[in-house]
Chain A
Amino acid sequence: MLTADLLANAVVAGILLGGFYAAVAIGLAIIFGQLDIVNIAHPAFIIVGAYTAYILNSRFGFDPVLVGVLAAPIFFIVGAGIYRIYYAAFERTGQESLSGLAFFFGVMFIIEVVLILVYGVDYRLVAARYIGSTWSLGFVDLPFRLLVPFVTAVALTAGVYAYLSRTFMGRAIQAVAQDRLALQLMGANPVSVKQWAFALGMATAAIAGSLLIIIGPVEPSVGRLYIGRAFAIVVLGGMGSIPGMFIAALILGVVESLVTTFWGPSWAPAVAFGLLLLTLAFRPSGLFGR
């Protein structure tokens, strides 16, 4: 039954969830949106981030968000290494479109299988004081397990946006897929720029993973649910536009939340692909496409 407080709670929960989706999609907004690299393994790296938070939280009691921030530089270095392999094996010889996709597909499966072999298929979760408590504002509830990821994701999005628009490297990242040679004529090395950008995108996966496991328990194949969502958000947001990506993530979060509340949770995964199809049909350049 439709009541005002049910609707308000669904919308608020959707906005909070959407903020978290922005953290999931922001790495792809750089890697896929700016660099045109179809990194289908990005959600799998987010799961690695979630397990990193789980391990350090369960062993040492570290706060999951803190783990995400501390793991980000390590993910950055791993990302730089992965781009090097991708560049040497595919991009340098111009085979990135299909072989590159297969490469990331393979990486995704390897990550999933390794996690299953080491940790099994059981759901894992983290403990923190704020998980489980709720902040009530009148008839609207703000659960901390959604509020903390939302606030972290907003900070992450703002930080990445400022970096891309205000720094020399950030502007070079935006330019590299538009005209490599012209970028060289500006004195920048396109391979280094792409490596830096890919690494930056990977670093965000560490933080997104820690947020994912705050929201709910995680098992190795959960990442697959986020492939469609993340790509839909990047396309809807206009391929590489960070503000567009954030708005698109909020839209997806709210629509999913409304569908879950009024039609049932089994419909929620269809929302992302529905939005993706509608975007491609009616506005292929996305909401904020340049």
Chain B
Amino acid sequence: MASRLVASHVEAGYGSVRVLHDVSVNVNAGETVVLLGSNGNGKSTLIKCITGIVQPTSGEIYLERDGARIDLVGKSPQEVVDLGIALVPEGRRLFPKLTVEENLLLGAFRMGARSKIDSNLAFVFEAFPPLRERRNQLAGNMSGGEQQMVAVARALMSDPEILLVDEPSVGLAPILVSRMIAKIKELKDQRHLTVLMAEQNFNQAIKIADRGYIIVHGQIEFEGGSAADLRDNDMIKQYYLGL
């Protein structure tokens, strides 16, 4: 099973505010693709369209899996999760009054993940040792870095094929940002995941990117075929990094 995620000519917004204009993005099986842009440019909205939280007004979003095409537009978030697409949401969105372990077990709610619950739990505890120590602590009482670990681990518990990560750096100290991003790369390699990550921390994000898109005012301004493409682009320095 290898899936390619495609968003094609997506338009979306909230009420009368248009946020995405003709956005086309694709992620091939096994790739790490980053969606770069500063706050308020539409990165999260695109992630929300893919996961069914926001419905696009036009355009197509679909999965190509084993030659078949599975449309994602019109599906609810729970149906998207059932297809093996997990989201680490912006702001983490843990269940603060449940323990770390209860949060992780909820990650395995979908039927497809329940049979692998023991091995996946062992895996995430291996990947994030602090979570094993604090498994009985309430998620709301953890530090920001630990909460981000829970959020990533919880997404992995759903046994995904495609991992969407929305702004993993928000609210983390710089050293933790670089560790978290490196961890995502490590997990991706260990679990053979396909990753689409929305991130505003350009320098950190391109460390793990195979390819990337720059999104400005809801439009894809640049598509970089490699991390080097993104790093060396003059337009990026000008528009995005303000150099």
A208 CB to nearest B CB, Å:
26
Minimum CB–CB distance from A153 to chain B (whole Å) comes to: 25
Give me 16 A-to-B residue pairs in the complex whose CB atoms sit less than 8 angstroms apart, sorted by A's number.
A168-B106, A171-B98, A171-B109, A174-B102, A175-B98, A175-B102, A175-B106, A179-B93, A181-B53, A181-B89, A182-B95, A184-B76, A184-B77, A185-B86, A186-B107, A187-B158
Cβ-neighbour of A178 out of B76, B87, B96, B114 (below 8 A): B96
Which 9 A-B residue pairings sit nearest by Cβ, starting from the closest? A187-B110, A184-B77, A187-B81, A182-B93, A290-B97, A186-B109, A175-B95, A178-B95, A187-B78
Q: Nearest Cβ in chain B — how far from A36, in angstroms?
A: 13
Q: Is the CB of B76 within 8 A of A186?
A: no
B147 within 8 A of A: no
Does chain B have a CB within 8 A of A97? no
Q: How far is the CB of A211 from chain B (nearest CB, A)?
A: 30
Interface residues in B103-146 by Cβ distance below 8 A to A read 105-111, 113-114, 138
18 additional contacts (CB under 8 A) given A168-B105, A183-B95: A168-B106, A168-B109, A171-B98, A171-B106, A172-B109, A175-B106, A178-B96, A178-B98, A179-B93, A181-B77, A185-B86, A186-B106, A186-B109, A186-B158, A187-B81, A187-B113, A188-B78, A189-B76
CA distance A24 to B76 in the complex (A): 37
**Chain B 218-235 interface 0/1 with A at a Cβ cutoff of 8 Å (1 = within):** 000000000000000000
Interface contact A185-B138, CB-CB below 8 Å: no
Q: Which residues of B sit under 8 angstroms from A178, Cβ to Cβ?
A: 95-98
B96 pairs with A186, CB closer than 8 A: no
A198 to B181, CA, bound (A): 41
Rounded to whole angstroms, the CA-CA distance of A188 and B111 in the bound complex is 10
Chain B residue nearest in CB terms to A187: B110
Are B97 and A184 in contact, with the CB atoms below 8 A?
Answer: no
Report the Cα distance A189→B108, complex, angstroms: 14
Majority DSSP secondary structure for residues of A touching B = helix
Q: How far is the CA of A178 from the CA of B106 in the complex (A)?
A: 13
In the complex, which of the residues A168, A185, A188 contacts B114, with contact meaning CB atoms closer than 8 Å?
Answer: A168
For B154, the closest partner residue in chain A by CB is: A186
- Give the docked Cα–Cα distance between A172 and B108 (Å): 11
Bound-state Cα–Cα, A186 to B93, Å? 11
Q: What is the distance, in angstroms, from A108's C-beta to the closest C-beta of chain B?
A: 29
Measured in the bound complex, the distance between the Cα atoms of B107 and A175 in whole Å is 11
- The docked-state distance in angstroms from the alpha carbon of A1 to that of B122 is 62
Whole-angstrom distance between the alpha carbons of A278 and B93 in the complex?
Answer: 33
Q: Which residues of A contact B32 (CB under 8 A)?
A: none
Q: Which residue of B lies closest to A190 (CB)?
A: B78
A174 to B76, CA, bound (A): 21
Inter-chain contacts of A186 with B (CB < 8 A): 78, 81, 106-107, 109-110, 154, 158
Partner of A184, one of B78, B94, B138: B78
B87 A185 Cβ-Cβ under 8 A: yes
CB nearest to A239 among chain B residues: B97
- Specify which chain A residues have a CB less than 8 angstroms from the CB of B158 in the assembled complex: 186-187
Whether B60 sits at the interface, judged by CB under 8 Å, is no
